[in-house]
């Protein structure tokens, strides 16, 4: 039976692909057998199953759908930047089938009704699994604690006041204790507001040269240290978001070796770009934590390679074009990341020799899923058929008009990247198809 992209059958074979799972890229061509939304089988070679439609994936890698532990979909409250639907499409275009949303919307996701609302919006869009986190404190005010139990029952996978730190150490200690009892992590946005003050970029040579207020590493280092010590004392699970300093990597490395229950993530921009990118005062390089120095960039990349940092997360933070046209010090923090993550990973980590492709894919699939206990991220028999087909060698130039996100505030505009997603499937259903890279078949 001929393959047709118009109607994806309930049962089909993907053949001629290199399977990439459990940290390894298969050397020989293999296949994936999908049936009724699940993986019926996979392996090397090409089975003959008469009558089954065959999708010929020659030249493509077949990996589990990517998992992103850190996205901002802006709904409710800032739908002009992104919605759950547009964010889900951006995720699918980037090869992601599961994302964890941050609760700093307006209003914040700080009760079980809001958690259910987000899950419903994700289901309506139908392009990506949405795993919401809830706020630690009502309104993210940093004072009291939300109803964690209700929110976990509604589907929250962790708690965070991300966008802001939790300055009150006693609240953080209690949050770690209660979340730990419920089996979910507290996600730390490690920042000391009394240290960063009104800083807008990393404090160093370039902030001095450009005359912009700096954000010292000590802010992130000391906050990471505090939260790790609170996790050690409570026995709770701390997940450190967007690690950007050499010092924080070192602190996490030591804590792990001492048995503290800590996991951590790093963003593509923090393992690829340094603070010199701010030299033209472009707000497309303004984010929090900021781009730091090359030794930090290298430490983050090494941390990902050696497992100190568990996974890659994009911190996809859409903003309107108007906002990103403000002067550097007035513009909001944050850049998009879902649609460039694979290309940035391959270009800056694989092609530069920091790690192999199998490891990169593991850092975008199984590792993030395991860090937050999400039941996704693996290609195995019986699992739901969330998978991505991509060409690791395809070179492309990042263009604003190519983005599916409602926002275009990417740090990589105009840059040439290697590695592009051809098609994304969730539960055996097509969620994204790149017209140029689509494997053959009737369209
Ligand atoms: Zn944050």
Residue 439, pLDDT > 80, answer: no
366 and 399 part of one domain: no
**Model's pTM, two decimal places?**
0.98
Read off the pLDDT of residues 238-252 as tens digits, 9 standing for 90 and up.
999 999 999 999 999
How many CB atoms within 10 Å of residue 23?
16
Domain assignment of residue 443, yes or no = no
Same domain membership, residue 357 and residue 397: no
pLDDT in the model for residue 117: 97
- Are 130 and 45 in a shared domain? no
Of 126 and 51, the structure prediction assigns the larger pLDDT to 126
Residue showing tokens 């800083």: 199
Same domain, 173 and 314: yes
Using the mean position of ligand 1's atoms as its centre, give its distance from the Cα of residue 70 in Å.
Answer: 9
- 221, 315, 386, 391: the active-site residue: 315
Same domain, 320 and 265: yes
Question: Same domain, yes or no, for 418 and 360?
Answer: no
Specify if 307 maps to a domain. Answer: yes
Q: What are 406-423's pLDDT values in tens digits?
A: 999 999 999 999 999 999
Per-residue pLDDT, 23: 96
Instruction: For residue 27, report the distance from its CA to the centre of ligand 1, in Å.
Output: 38
**What CATH number is given to the structural domain containing 82?**
3.20.20.140
Both tokens of 159, joined, read 């708690």
pLDDT of 442 higher than 80: no
**Quick one: 280 and 397 in the same domain?**
no
357 and 283 share one domain? yes
Residue 164 CA, ligand 1 centroid: distance in Å: 7
Distance from the alpha carbon of residue 242 to the mean position of ligand 1, in angstroms: 7
Q: State the distance from the centre of ligand 1 to the C-alpha of 73, rounded, in angstroms.
A: 14
Whether residue 358 lies inside any domain: the answer is yes
In which domain, by residue range, is 335 found? 65-371
Residue 315 a catalytic site member: yes
pLDDT band at 1 (very low <50, low <70, confident <90, very high): low
Rounded to the nearest angstrom, the distance between the alpha carbon of 277 and the centre of ligand 1 is 20
Do 230 and 292 fall within a single domain?
yes
In this structure, the answer to whether residues 130 and 213 fall within a common structural domain is yes
Mean pLDDT of the chain: 96
Q: How far is the CA of 13 from the centre of ligand 1 (A)?
A: 41
Asked if residues 169 and 190 have their Cβ atoms less than 8 Å apart, the reply is no
Mean pLDDT of 431-441: 85
**Tell me, what's the pLDDT at 108?**
97
Instruction: Please write the tens of the pLDDT for every residue from 162-199.
Output: 999 999 999 999 999 999 999 999 999 999 999 999 99
CA of 72 to the centre of ligand 1 (A): 10
Q: What sign does the CA torsion over 76, 80, 81, 83 have?
A: positive
Let me know: does 395 contact 417? Beta carbons within 8 Å. yes
Closest by CA position to 135, among listed 150, 124, 120, 123: 150
Determine the pLDDT at residue 323: 87
Overall domain count for the chain? 2
**Structure tokens, 321:** 């074009």
347 and 234: one domain?
yes
Q: Tell whether 193 is covered by a domain.
A: yes
CATH number of domain containing 391: 2.30.40.10
- 222 and 288 part of one domain: yes
In this prediction, residue 441 carries a pLDDT of: 59
Of the three residues 371, 398, 413, the one that is the final residue of a domain is 371
Q: What is the average pLDDT across 430-442?
A: 83
Whole-angstrom Cα distance, residue 327 to residue 333?
12
5 within some domain: no
């Amino acid at each position: 039976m001929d393959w047709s992209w118009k109607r994806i059958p309930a049962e089909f074979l993907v053949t001629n692909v290199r399977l990439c799972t459990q940290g390894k890229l298969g050397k020989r061509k293999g296949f994936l057998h999908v049936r009724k939304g699940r993986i019926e089988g996979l392996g090397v070679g090409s089975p003959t199953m008469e009558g089954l439609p065959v999708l010929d994936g020659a030249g493509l890698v077949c990996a589990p759908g990517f998992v992103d532990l850190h996205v901002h979909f802006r709904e409710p409250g800032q739908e002009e930047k992104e919605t759950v639907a547009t964010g889900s499409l951006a995720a699918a275009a980037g090869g992601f089938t599961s994302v964890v949303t941050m609760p700093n919307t307006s209003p914040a996701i700080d009760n079980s009704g809001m958690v259910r609302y987000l899950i419903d919006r994700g289901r309506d869009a139908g392009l990506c699994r949405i795993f919401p986190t809830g706020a630690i404190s009502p309104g993210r005010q940093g004072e009291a604690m939300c109803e964690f139990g209700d929110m976990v029952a509604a589907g929250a996978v962790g708690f965070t006041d991300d966008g802001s730190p939790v300055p009150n150490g006693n609240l953080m200690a209690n949050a770690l204790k209660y979340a730990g009892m419920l089996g979910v992590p507290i996600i730390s946005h490690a920042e000391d507001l009394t240290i960063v003050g009104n800083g807008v970029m990393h404090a160093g040579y370039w902030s001095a040269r450009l005359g912009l207020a700096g954000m010292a590493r000590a802010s992130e280092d000391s906050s990471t240290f505090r939260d790790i010590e609170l996790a050690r004392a409570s026995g709770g699970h701390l997940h450190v978001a967007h690690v950007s300093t050499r010092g924080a990597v070192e602190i996490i490395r030591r804590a792990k070796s001492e048995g503290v229950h800590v996991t951590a993530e790093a963003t593509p921009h923090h393992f690829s770009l340094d603070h010199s990118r701010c030299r033209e005062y472009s707000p497309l390089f303004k984010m929090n934590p900021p781009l730091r120095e090359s030794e930090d960039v290298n430490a983050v990349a090494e941390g990902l390679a050696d497992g100190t940092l568990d996974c890659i997360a994009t911190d996809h933070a859409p903003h309107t074009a108007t906002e990103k046209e403000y002067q550097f010090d007035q513009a909001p923090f944050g850049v998009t990341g879902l649609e460039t993550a694979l290309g940035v990973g391959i270009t800056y980590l694989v092609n530069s020799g920091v790690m192999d492709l199998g490891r990169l894919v593991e850092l975008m699939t199984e590792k993030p899923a395991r860090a937050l206990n999400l039941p996704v991220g693996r290609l195995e028999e019986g699992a739901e058929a969330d998978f991505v087909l991509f060409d690791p060698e395809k070179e492309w130039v990042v263009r604003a008009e190519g983005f599916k996100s409602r926002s275009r505030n990417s740090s990589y505009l105009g840059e040439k990247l290697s590695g592009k997603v051809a098609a994304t499937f969730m539960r055996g259903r097509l969620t994204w198809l790149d017209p140029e890279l689509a494997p053959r078949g009737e369209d």
